[in-house]
């Protein structure tokens, strides 16, 4: 079999988390009874006019800046004309790709599993409005829900020829982009609710060919897993098609999650003629340099910068830095705890260890848990002062996780503080040695490894509260006198 190269262009649509829709004041939210978040404007009633949502424009500007794009200082909305029942006006207000999208010529450095960065060039970032949704009615026939119609939608498109050449890159690109959108607070990133939608364009060609092969566009990818599975499937399918001596048909294909296979949706014989033209109901957007610079300066620290900083100035491992920056809230939690005086490495250990475990078991998120940064600090203090040992710390932490009470309060109440009083420890040691003369004899005959058993018994005698190094020392000296 010949060797093949794959090319994957990524078209990502992100619903912006604005309070209201793109051109009217209807609220933006997921779900709800059909047609309850509509008004004459988003229903396209005759005579209505669009009134642009500034927050949406700013969200796209910020995204474009975060994706290292150039900004069109003069940007216009176009009408994309086509008929479909979910499109109330018979056209979608969008931006024509050839001219003046808000952001263009950017790039995204995507961290790969092997630690390298893969640069994906961004062709454009533009703003448009979402359509409604067709609903197949149980009794037959179709209905349209326009709740989603007019929700601001941002489109991020990778450049051509594609920089993405395999399913892993496709998945990581999407994950990195999603993370940035969430960090910026412009999109909630929920793929399962459709607020982040990804449509890869996939083609393969023989290694010896210069020209890209016929591409297929893949729709209905509702998770990261389906993105990598879908791209991998298409690459395999297209290679098999060519190997069988057939041509890859240029078409739109759907992804069947259950069957893990793509299916033909519609054949694209020619490019649709959308008769784009500048929307005469909207005036051009003019951006001033100073305003753009202000936005650029106010961008939050982005995940890759944070990751780098956690490693270089806080001394975390690349893995830990990656985990803590994977979610904006996790990083914020970590930074708050460190700012309050927590040792970065210890805070990280507790967050990625016990806390992560408990969150995972309970299904809670970092913003929901009763464990706040102050709890972590309190616990670290108990440990560093030697008031409790590591074992006690874990059980106190678990209790604190349940009740939300401070570890120091719990410890004080239960008397669970560590026993570091040598008299008390010596008494316990004497008791244990007296109870196990056989073991003591073994030690004296040279089997010194039995000391572990004796130490364990002393810990048990003190309900685990004894200071372990002191116990070790006390047992040893008692045996050797």
Task: Please say whether the dihedral angle defined by the alpha carbons of residues 440, 442, 444 and 450, taken in this order, is positive or negative.
Answer: negative
Q: Which of 254, 278 has the CB closer to other proteins? A: 278
**Binding residues for other proteins restricted to 84-113, rule: CB under 8 A:** 84-85, 88-91
Asked if 140 is part of the footprint of other proteins (rule: CB under 8 A), the reply reads no
Contact 233, 262 (CB under 8 A): yes
How many Å apart are CA 133 and CA 124, to the nearest integer? 26
Q: Which of 1, 49 has the CB closer to other proteins? A: 49
Q: Of these, 1, 3, 33, 49, which contacts other proteins (CB under 8 A)? A: 49
Asked if 48 is part of the footprint of other proteins (rule: CB under 8 A), the reply reads yes
Asked if 263 is part of the footprint of other proteins (rule: CB under 8 A), the reply reads no
Q: Which two tokens stand for residue 396?
A: 């106190």
Asked if 58 is part of the footprint of other proteins (rule: CB under 8 A), the reply reads no
Q: Which residues are CB-neighbours of 348 under 8 A, at least 6 positions away?
A: 316, 320, 324, 334
How many Å apart are CA 316 and CA 228, to the nearest integer? 30
Asked if 52 is part of the footprint of other proteins (rule: CB under 8 A), the reply reads yes
In the complex, the smallest distance separating the C-beta of residue 25 from other proteins, rounded to whole angstroms, is: 11
Tally the C-alpha atoms within 13 A of residue 58's C-alpha that lie toward its C-beta: 14
Asked if 152 is part of the footprint of other proteins (rule: CB under 8 A), the reply reads no
Q: Of these, 68, 81, 165, 364, which contacts other proteins (CB under 8 A)? A: 81
CA angle 105, 108, 111 (to 5 degrees): 165
Question: Which element (helix H / strand E) includes 307?
Answer: helix 303-312
Could you tell me how many residues of this chain bind other proteins (CB under 8 A)?
Answer: 31
Asked if 123 is part of the footprint of other proteins (rule: CB under 8 A), the reply reads no
Q: Which of 21, 306 has the CB closer to other proteins? A: 21
In the complex, the smallest distance separating the C-beta of residue 259 from other proteins, rounded to whole angstroms, is: 27
Residue among 163, 162, 178, 171 nearest 229 (CA): 171
Q: Of these, 76, 144, 261, 295, which contacts other proteins (CB under 8 A)? A: 144
Q: Of these, 21, 79, 123, 215, which contacts other proteins (CB under 8 A)? A: 79
Among the listed ranges 41-49, 105-113, 157-165, 437-445, the one in contact with other proteins (CB under 8 A) is: 41-49
Among the listed ranges 42-50, 318-326, 377-385, 473-481, the one in contact with other proteins (CB under 8 A) is: 42-50
How many Å apart are CA 258 and CA 76, to the nearest integer? 42
Contact 14, 186 (CB under 8 A): yes
Phi-psi category of residue 252: left, alpha or beta, with phi > 0 → left and psi -120 to 50 → alpha:
beta
Q: Which of 35, 68 has the CB closer to other proteins? A: 35
In the complex, the smallest distance separating the C-beta of residue 280 from other proteins, rounded to whole angstroms, is: 4
**Residue 450: DSSP 8-state:** G
**Binding residues for other proteins restricted to 264-293, rule: CB under 8 A:** 271, 273, 275-277, 280-283
Structure-token match 């008769």, residue found: 275
How many Å apart are CA 419 and CA 226, to the nearest integer? 55
Q: Which residues are CB-neighbours of 116 under 8 A, at least 6 positions away?
A: none
In the complex, the smallest distance separating the C-beta of residue 292 from other proteins, rounded to whole angstroms, is: 21
Q: Of these, 3, 47, 115, 211, which contacts other proteins (CB under 8 A)? A: 47
Q: Of these, 1, 33, 46, 481, which contacts other proteins (CB under 8 A)? A: 46
The pairing of strands 285-286 and 277-278 is unpaired
CA angle 124, 125, 126 (to 5 degrees): 115
Q: Of these, 44, 254, 300, 468, which contacts other proteins (CB under 8 A)? A: 44
Which residues would be at the binding site for other proteins (CB under 8 A)? 40, 43-52, 79, 81, 83-85, 88-91, 142, 144, 271, 273, 275-277, 280-283
């Amino acid at each position: 079999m010949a060797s093949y190269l794959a090319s994957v262009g990524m078209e990502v649509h992100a619903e912006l988390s604005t309070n209201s829709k793109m051109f009217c004041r209807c609220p933006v939210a997921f779900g709800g009874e059909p047609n309850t978040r509509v008004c004459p404007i988003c229903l396209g009633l005759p005579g209505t006019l669009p009134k642009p949502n500034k927050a949406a424009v700013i969200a796209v500007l910020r995204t474009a800046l975060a994706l290292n794009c150039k900004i069109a200082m003069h940007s216009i909305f176009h009408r994309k004309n086509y008929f479909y029942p979910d499109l109330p006006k018979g056209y979608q207000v969008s931006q024509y790709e050839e001219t003046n999208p808000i952001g263009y010529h950017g790039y995204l450095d995507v961290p790969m599993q092997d630690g390298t960065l893969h640069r994906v060039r961004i062709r454009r970032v533009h703003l448009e409005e979402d359509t409604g949704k067709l609903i197949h009615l149980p009794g037959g026939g179709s209905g349209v829900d326009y709740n989603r119609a007019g929700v601001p939608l941002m489109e991020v498109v990778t450049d051509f020829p594609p920089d993405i050449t395999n399913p892993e890159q496709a998945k990581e690109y999407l994950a990195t982009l999603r993370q940035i959108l969430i960090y910026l607070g412009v999109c909630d990133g929920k793929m399962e609710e459709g607020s982040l939608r990804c449509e890869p364009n996939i083609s393969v060609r023989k290694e010896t060919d210069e020209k890209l092969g016929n591409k297929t566009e893949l729709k209905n990818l509702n998770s990261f897993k389906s993105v990598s599975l879908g791209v991998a499937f298409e690459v395999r399918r297209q290679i098999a098609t060519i190997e069988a001596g057939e041509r890859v048909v240029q078409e739109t294909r759907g992804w069947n999650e259950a069957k893990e296979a793509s299916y033909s949706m519609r054949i694209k014989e020619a490019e649709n003629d959308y008769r784009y033209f500048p929307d005469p109901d909207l005036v051009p957007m003019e951006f001033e340099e100073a305003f753009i610079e202000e936005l650029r300066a106010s961008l939050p620290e982005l995940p890759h910068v944070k990751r780098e900083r956690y490693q270089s100035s806080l001394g975390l491992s690349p893995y830990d830095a990656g985990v803590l920056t994977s979610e904006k809230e996790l990083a914020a939690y970590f930074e708050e705890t460190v700012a309050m005086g927590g040792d970065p490495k210890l805070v990280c250990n507790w967050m990625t260890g016990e806390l992560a475990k408990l969150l995972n078991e309970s299904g809670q998120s970092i913003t929901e848990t009763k464990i706040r940064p102050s709890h972590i600090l309190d616990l670290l203090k108990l440990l560093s002062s030697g008031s409790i040992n590591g074992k006690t710390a874990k059980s106190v932490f678990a209790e604190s996780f349940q009740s939300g009470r401070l570890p120091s309060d719990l410890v004080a109440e239960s008397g669970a503080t560590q026993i570091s009083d040598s008299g008390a420890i010596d008494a316990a040691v004497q008791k244990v040695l007296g109870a196990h003369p056989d073991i003591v004899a073994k030690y004296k005959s040279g089997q010194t490894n039995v000391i572990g058993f004796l130490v364990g018994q002393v810990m048990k005698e003190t309900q685990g509260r004894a200071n372990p190094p002191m116990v070790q020392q006390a047992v040893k000296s008692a045996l050797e006198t």
